[in-house]
Every structure is written in structure tokens, then in C-alpha cells.
Structure 1
Amino acid sequence: MTDNTAPTRPPRAMPLREWLAPITLVTVLAALLGTMYLGYTADPEKHLHDFPIALVNQDVGDTVAGQPTNLGDQITTALGTEIPADKIDLRTVGLNEAQRQLQNGEVYGAIVIPGDFTKRVTILGTASIVPGDIERPIISVLTNPRAGTLAAQIMQTVADQAMTQVNTTVGTRLAAQVHTAIGDTPLSGAAQLQLTEPIDVVVTAYHPLPDGTGQGLAAFFYTLVLLIVGFSGAMMINSLVDASLGFVPAEYGPWHKTTATAPISRRRTLLIKWGIAAISAPLASAVFLGIAALLDMSLGRPLLLFLYGTLAITAIAITCLSVMAAFGTAGLMINLIVFVVLGIPSSSGTIPLEATPRWIADMAGFEPMHQIYLAVRAIVFFDGHLEAGLAQGLWMTLAGLAIGLILGATATHTYDLRGLYRLGRAPAPAGGH
């Protein structure tokens, strides 16, 4: 240990540009953070676009006043016209297809019109005149909490607004039909109230979340810890290995320890860092899985989650190390922006992409955190179905790992070939010490 509290020469004054550089970087980072994090949380419903909802019409219709009538078809047409197409992606599908899309998280909910809808509306109109027990016609609204908690809430809000309009339209038509039949005969207050809101809208969760899922946020936070350990682990590995090889001093409070610089190439240095990251990744993934099990978190398919967690941590750490090997100190800022600053808002883990500004949603196509979230969500909530996002998350993670390996290998090999040695010292010849 060397006590560095008493320098042997007076410190030089820092030029103004060396003051301005860190101040500028912090200010730019603050502006970027504010734009990303406040921009996507301020008003999700205002930014709504392409929000996928399934619409299922099973109504077989009925004969009303001697005419074949299908109110389900009329409601389907009206919803397609009245729901803004730029905000909602309304998919008119069959029941089986709607269930498939719900099971894979492809839609955030479904509106289901049952087969006897028109018949029940007709009976309701008759019952307003003739005494007897009746059941109100039902339209079911299915939310998909496994696709996202906020998405389920937005789905319910959209459905409430749409069903209010449907209730008004059907109620007006039904009231006109009843008044035509009875003329000036007054209706009872109960009958009038019944005609005002004739439809019973039943909201239920499709495949509700099990216990231990943090109201649907467990997948997001599991993704976050995978990202943090990969990112932060790479920073620690980079610093510790460089200190061990003598490229930077190891500091302990007011003391620092310097080590003789090892005669080692940039490529071999990076290979050592990659190796440590690869060994650490399965250990970290196992720790996360064990802690989640102790906390009674719903894990879906634990073995698959462990394996994918290992891959994700490895890919993040290796890519971060490669970026720092290629860009030096600037690599820290690049990694921070790519993996954290841009990653969390575009992950879709808290707010669905369809409720974020389009420029944030567009970043999800390449941002690592979104790909990892899709895979983790598929494993935890959708039984590891490839169609639920696991396939995309898996292949994009492998692609990210390949990019990291190619970037690191190419940059360090090029620097070594050009004689750009660290600290200006050439490495020992192959086989040397």
C-alpha cells in the first residue's frame, strides 16, 4: 500500500475545458433521462396507438317484428367505426383465435358478444311490457393481466367507453321499439331504467395472475435484475481485471496499490474478462432463482428461467465489456445509454409500448431490455410458449451476444495489429512471460 496523501509535486490547475466536459456530460444525461422517463410516463392514454384488442361476435341473430335481425353484427360494425383506428387495433376474430392471442399475450383483452345476444335483447323489450323474470343480455370483456397490469387497466377503460356507447345505442333502439308497441301507455320506472342500460357488461380477467407475481410486475423486475447484474458486473470485471494487470491503480479509501503492468495484448485481456463474465453468469442466475423461490415468487418454468437468465447475463456482460474495449472510457456512457437510459422506457414492462410515444415504441425493436423482458414474461406468465415472446427474446439475445463478440474481437485485434498498446507497452511475444 502506498499513502498518497502527500504528493511530491504541486497539483496542476485543471483547464476550463476539463471542467466543462463532465458538466456537459451530466447535463446531457439529465436531459436524456428526463425526456425518456418523464416522456413515457406522463400520459399513457394520450399516446395510445395500435393497442391490440380482439372482438368476437358469436351472435346468431333472431327474428324481430318479422325481420331477421343480428344486433351483434350491428355492434361489431359500430365498434369498428367508432373506436379510433389510430389508437386501437381492433381485431375481429373467432373465439378460438381470440383465446390463442390471449394465451400468447398478442392482445391485451377481448370483447365477446354471445350467441344469444339478439334473442335476449328481444326478450328484454317484450318483458318491459309483459311481466316476468328475465336476464339482461350480456357482453363479456376479458382483460389479459399477464400481458401487463397497466395494459389490462387501459383495456378496461377502452371497453367501458365503448360499452357505454353500445348501451346508449341499443337502449335508444329498444325504447323506440317498446314505445311503438305500447303507444302512449306509460312505462314503470323500473322498466324505463332497464331500457336505459339494457346490456350487462361483465369484466373478467382471462387466465388471472397467480400469487407471487407482484400484480404482474414480477417479470419486469426479474428482467431488471438480469440487466443490472450484467451491466454492473461488466463494470466491476473491467475495473478489477485492469487493476490486477496493472493498467489502473487499485484504490482503497485514501490508499492505492499499483501493480507492474502485465505484458498482455488487448485481445487476451478481453478474453480474460469474457471468461470471468461467462463463469459468473450462471452463478448469478442461480442466485436470482434461489432468492425468487425463497420469496415464493411464481417462476413459471424455473429451469428454463435459469438457462435463459444465464444467457441474458452473459450477453449483456460480454457486450458491455466489448464496448469498453472498443471505446475506452466513453464505453461506460454508451453502455449506460443503450442498456439503461433507453432500455427501461422501451422495455414494455411497466407501460405497454402501445401507450408510449411512437419514437419510444420504435426503439423496442432493437433495445436489449425489451427482448429480455419478452422472454422472461413468456417463461413466467405464458408457460414458456415460443409464440408469447420467448422465440423473439431468445434469438435477439443470441444476436446481441454475437454482436458483442464480433465487436470486441474485431476492435482489440485491430488495435493490437496497429501497435496501439495500452500504456504504450508492447505485450510479450507469444509464449513469453
Structure 2
Amino acid sequence: MTTLSDAMTNAPAHPQPPRRQRTMPLREWLAPITLVTVLAALLGTMYLGYTTDPEKHLHDFPIALVNQDVGDTVAGEPTHLGDQITTALTDAVPADKIDLHTLGINEAQRQLQNGEVYGAIVIPGDFTKRVAILAAASIVPGDIEQPIISVLTNPRAGTLAAQIMQTVADQAMTQVNATVGTQLAGQVRAALGDTPLSGAAQRQLATPIDIVVTAYHPLPEGTGQGLAAFFYTLVLLIVGFSGAMMINSLVDASLGFVPAEYGPWHKPTTRAPISRWHTLLVKWGIAALSAPIASAVFLGIGAALDMSLERPLLLFLYGTLAITAIAVTGLSVMAAFGTAGLMINLIVFVVLGIPSSSGTIPLEATPRWIADMAAFEPMHQIYLAVRAILFFDGHLEAGLGRGLGMTLAGLAIGLILGAAATHTYDLRGLHRLGTGPQPTRPAEGH
């Protein structure tokens, strides 16, 4: 039996009060909720804003107009219907939506080959002559060849862009057909006098022009109807962005700056005596070693899936550069801004990048404020380069020159940002604190 004396003897000299569990203050609950709400609003604005109605947002949509018509004599007078149609199209096409380029055939083909225009309307050299023959055939019997205007789409510049080009051309050519038909019917009736026109002749004169729509330099098989360039760009972006996140977490865990957790298990790690600058150098090195491996994996998988790869070596080299630039910049942003760098990278590379990439919807069919972001958004620059390599034989003028230059500029910005931020923090003695046991000797500045 335990006596009171025994109980007093075994009792602790200083009883410990029960530990109170720390609760999160209200502001710590509101911070993640606010961030998620802001991200949701930004995602909704960007992704729904550029897909809702592309034709409504149409602006500066580049189309070439080629007039090769040499003219002819109609009803005893020199006539040049090609000039009349060119003037009518220039006046009728809304200038705020369509950027109509009046070009020669060689320049139009060059711009089609480089993806500078989304299509071309071509009036052939014998257009007026065929119209005159058609008018004469309505009066006297004979064989005729219907006047033709060719509409060339450019599927390599974008699948949706080719569809928009065809829609615009259909609307414009319907108006041209009606105008030429009215003019032609008036001339025929004046020549016939009181003699009535047959029903077939009236129908032929109502729509005298045959609009022939063809694809200029059609896409080969294995291109996903033109979407392969966008999705290849997307995987380069994702592996660079996600790779930077993984490299950052794993390196910090192995150096003892963040907990190394594997499910319910926790691995304590002593903080390494290493500066911020040297830590970033390690992360950059891992990213640089990983980039060519990832680029080679993408290329190998693409070849195994029968993807059209006209310039595989060039695609591998540029893919390596793009992954490296994204990963290096992403790591630098996190080194400079800490946890907030995760949100900054997500917004810059993904949230703002996909809508302004022009990979699915051409920039000229998105709201202007989204199109303006393409001037600096990384994904658009990468898409231009990848599209040029896949669809335009790697021509610098087709976007590879700009994409390559902007990717190198982005890599330089990432290197400068990371070096400047980490050196500044190290010089000011703002060392990182680890989660595990501290080393016996503090880390040096750098």
C-alpha cells in the first residue's frame, strides 16, 4: 500500500504544466485561401478569355492578296477585273480585323513558307479573259472555263488559323461573286436586249467565280493536324518547370535545409555548411545535366510514335536549350523569392504562358491584352522555334531566329537574377537555417 510519504517522495519537484497545442492564427488560414482564389480568378480570366470567341477577338489577321490578272477587252473596252476585285476586297475587308497584304506571287509564297501569313487569295492571270468568255458563252453556244480565284490556307501556321482563313475568304469571296455576277449579268442583258436568259445561264451568271480552297504545303502525317508543335512545346515547358521544382526540393532536403520526408518517415539531415550561391550552382548543374537527357527522351518517344521529325538533331539541341533556360530561371526565381517563387514560376510559365503561346489559337484571334503578352512570355518564344523546326524546315525567318534569341535572353536573365540575389544574400550574412542538427562550423559567406 502506497503511503502519502511515498507519494510525496516520488512526485516531481516541479510539476510540468500540460503543453498547449499551437493553433494557426487567422491570417495564416486566410493566406492560402486568398492565393488559391487569386489563382482561380487568373486561370479563369486567361483560359476562358482566349477560348470563348476567337472570331470576335480577331485583329490584325495577316492574309496575302495576289493579283496576277493581266486584263482583257470586254464589250469593246479594256477591262481589268483583278484590279477591281483587289480594290473591292481592300475596301470591304474590315481593317481592324484583317491585315491584307497586297503582294506579288513570289513574296506571298515566301511569307506562306515562313508562316508570316495565314493564307492567300490569288487572282490568276487569265481571270478577266475567262469572265469575258463566260459572258460571251451566255449569248452564243461554246465551251467555257469558269473563272477561278484560289484561296490558299496555311495549316503549318496553325490549324485554327487555317479554319479562320477559310471562313474569312468564304465571306469575302461570296461578296465578290455577287458583285461580279451582277456586273456580268447586266452586260449580258444589255447585249441580248429583249431576249430572255435561260435558267442555267442566269444561275451561272449569279455565281460566275469558282472559289478553289487548297492547303499550301499540306502537313505530313504524324503532326496531329498541326498540334504537334504546341504539345512538344508544352512538354518542354513542363519538364523544365517541374524539373526545377523537383531539383530545388531534393537538393534542399539532401543539404538539410528542408525536411526529407518519405510518407510517414522523416530522415533527419545535418545542414551542410554551404552558401546560397554554391547551393544554386549545384542546382543549376543538375538542371544542365538533366536537360539533354530529357530532350533525348522526348525525341526518342516522338520517333517511336511515328511523329514527323524533319530536323531531329536541331530539335534535340533546341529542346536542350529550352529546358535548361526554363529550369535555370525557375531555380533562380525560387532562390531570390523563396516560397513565393513557386507561385511566380507557375504564373509566368504556365498560367500566362499557354493562352499567349499561339499554339492552339492564333494571337490575332485572342484579346489584345493576351496577344501583347506574347512579346515576353517564354512559351510563345519556344513555340515559334519548335514550330519552325517541325513545320518550316528550321528557317530562321519562320520563328527559329526569334525563338532562339529570346530563349538565350531568358537564360541570361535567369543566370543574372540567381547570381545577383544569392551573392547579395550571402554578403549580407542572410544564411539559410536548416531543419536538422546544425554543423559545428557556420557556413561561410560564399
Same fold (TM over 0.5): yes
Q: Where does residue 150 of structure 1 map in the other structure?
A: 160
Q: Does 1:331 align with 2:308?
A: no
Q: Are the equivalent residues in 1 in contact too, given 2:425–2:431 (CA < 8 A)? A: yes
Q: Where does residue 69 of structure 1 map in the other structure?
A: 79
Q: Are the equivalent residues in 2 in contact too, given 1:61–1:119 (CA < 8 A)? A: yes
Report the alpha carbon displacement of residue 428 of structure 1 after superposing the two structures with TM: 3.4
Report the alpha carbon displacement of residue 430 of structure 1 after superposing the two structures with TM: 8.4
TM-score (norm 2): 0.94
Matched residues, number: 424
Q: Where does residue 17 of structure 1 map in the other structure?
A: 27
Match of 1:310 among 320, 340, 345: 320
- Which of the pair has more CA radius of gyration? 2
Q: Are the equivalent residues in 2 in contact too, given 1:265–1:427 (CA < 8 A)? A: no
Q: Does 1:263 align with 2:273?
A: yes
Q: Where does residue 443 of structure 2 map in the other structure?
A: 428
Match of 2:384 among 344, 355, 374: 374
Report the alpha carbon displacement of residue 202 of structure 1 after superposing the two structures with TM: 0.2
Considering only aligned residues, what root-mean-square deviation do their CA atoms show, in Å?
1.3
Match of 1:26 among 21, 24, 36: 36
Q: Where does residue 329 of structure 2 map in the other structure?
A: 319
Q: Where does residue 117 of structure 1 map in the other structure?
A: 127
State percent identity of aligned pairs.
Answer: 87
Deviations 1:79-100 (A, max 9, x none): 0000001100000000000000
Q: Where does residue 240 of structure 1 map in the other structure?
A: 250
Q: Does 1:219 align with 2:241?
A: no
In structure 1, distance between residues paired with 2:82 and 2:190: 22
Is there any run of 5+ residues in structure 2 with no aligned partner, and where?
1-17
Match of 1:79 among 89, 95, 98: 89
Distance 1:416 1:97, change over 3 A: same
Q: Are the equivalent residues in 1 in contact too, given 2:118–2:153 (CA < 8 A)? A: yes
In structure 2, distance between residues paired with 1:396 and 1:9: 57
3-state SS, counterpart of residue 423 of structure 1: coil
Amino acid at match of 1:259: T
Report the alpha carbon displacement of residue 429 of structure 1 after superposing the two structures with TM: 4.2
3-state SS, counterpart of residue 228 of structure 1: helix
In structure 2, distance between residues paired with 1:228 and 1:128: 63
Amino acid at match of 2:309: L
Amino acid at match of 1:179: R
Report the alpha carbon displacement of residue 422 of structure 1 after superposing the two structures with TM: 0.3
Q: Does 1:288 align with 2:298?
A: yes
Match of 1:383 among 384, 393, 400: 393
3-state SS, counterpart of residue 346 of structure 1: coil
Report the alpha carbon displacement of residue 427 of structure 1 after superposing the two structures with TM: 4.7
In structure 2, distance between residues paired with 1:305 and 1:356: 28
Q: Where does residue 194 of structure 1 map in the other structure?
A: 204
TM-score (norm 1): 0.96
3-state SS, counterpart of residue 63 of structure 1: strand
Moved over 3 A (4+): 8-11, 424-431
Q: Are the equivalent residues in 1 in contact too, given 2:119–2:153 (CA < 8 A)? A: yes
Q: Where does residue 3 of structure 1 map in the other structure?
A: none
Deviations 1:17-53 (A, max 9, x none): 0000000000000000000000000000000000000
3-state SS, counterpart of residue 99 of structure 2: strand
